Amino acid sequence: MSGIYFDHAATTPVDSRVKETMLPYFDEYFGNPSSIHSFGQKAAEAVDRAREQVAKMLNCNIREVVFTSGATEANNIAIWGVVNRVNEILRQASAFTNVTAGRQDDNNRVGHFITTAIEHPAVRRVYQKLEKLGHEVTFVEVDDAGVIKFDQLKAAIKDNTVLVSVMYANNEVGSVNLIEQIGQLVAEKKQERQEGDLPLYFHTDAVQAINYLDTDVEKLQCDFLALSGHKIYGPKGIGVLYIRAGVKIDPPMQGGSHEWNIRPGTLNVPGIVGLGRAVELVQEEKQMRIDHVAELKKILIEELKEIEEIRIFSAEKNGLPNIVNVSFYRAEGESMLMMLDMDGIAISTGSACSSGALEPSHVLTAMGVEKEWTHGSIRISFGKDNTLGEVKDFVKKIKPIVNRLRDMAPEIK
């Protein structure tokens, strides 16, 4: 399609080099990798190669890499897997104590979960469901830059805390959390646990981070990490869940013995091959991609600041280099999106998974942004192939659109 695409935080086009790598696995090497005949083993070799590519990027063992249908499934497997595991521990303990899942006992051993107020719906809605089921969940607040309050997180960890989920980088405003510092904190808290205590794990949704941040799991000290192929110029429908060796979960799905008995189902070989190649390209080109989108972001922010009554919610230096979340006072975000789309420019009003919702962005609300400003926010997210000319074209077209919408808008008293 022609036009300007500024919505790479929602999805990215498949890199031509990735597509070329995938093609033979649709019809030439089409075997089921679980089959022992030569057709199957040819496919299995490709899966093994992709697993090695992912393990290299994450600095982990190949047996710690689990292929999934995407990051949503990966996040769900991690969280529900821990829930199921803890429930089983408590069930067994209840035969000897008064511990009952969903109720606090004298020993404070009922499982407690910690997450943040700005998680992607793939995580946030799971924890909201857990609350409805009677589990105890703490939602840690963020500051006005969208970064979680570390001291509040530290204070929230209790003797019965079993899982801490903190996204690496936010998909709406591009804020980056101190995952290394949080990983160290959780690791220290683990050391304080005694034999027989509930386990404690650390999980991070790293979907937006893969292109631009360090994802060495040894440095991050995470037990679970989720990533998605379609955010890194790979195909849709494929993702990864990293599970640290020694971590025990009870997977939410049952079936075959695929993926180390964690995620059953015939493997998506073309998708896995494409993800492996996309990961490889990220490693080769990461700094070049960072420098490119950071320059576009810098120029865009400079241009936008010439427009009156705007607020930029993305950090200019400490956040992701490709995301700019900006709000135009008295200009409604959805209207801007549609008018820009008519001009051949694709942007977002926040998370693509939340588009269409009438309520204000939960991320901007958590940052303390007033309702009248959240409605005027849009997200521009650059990719490796965007150009300075496209940025200039966007600025040229957004200015009259904002003016037109402000002229149409009622006065706010």
Buried b (16+ CB within 10 A) or exposed e, 124-152: bebbeebeeeebbbbbbebeeebbbebee
Measure the CA–CA gap between 360 and 254, rounded to whole angstroms: 38
* Residue of 80, 83, 128, 118 lying closest to 102 (CA atoms): 83
Catalytic residue among 353, 360, 365, 393: 353
The secondary structure element, H or E, covering residue 204 is strand 201-205
Tokens of 292: 């490119």
Edge-to-edge order in the sheet of strand 323-328: 310-312, 323-328, 377-381
Measure the CA–CA gap between 365 and 367, rounded to whole angstroms: 5
Tokens of 248: 């025990």
DSSP state of 367: T
Buried b (16+ CB within 10 A) or exposed e, 276-293: bbbbbbbeeebeebbebb
Tokens of 41: 């083993």
Active site residue 60: no
Q: Output phi, psi for 276, to 5 deg.
A: -60, -45
Q: Output phi, psi for 366, to 5 deg.
A: -65, -30
**What residues are labeled active site?**
353
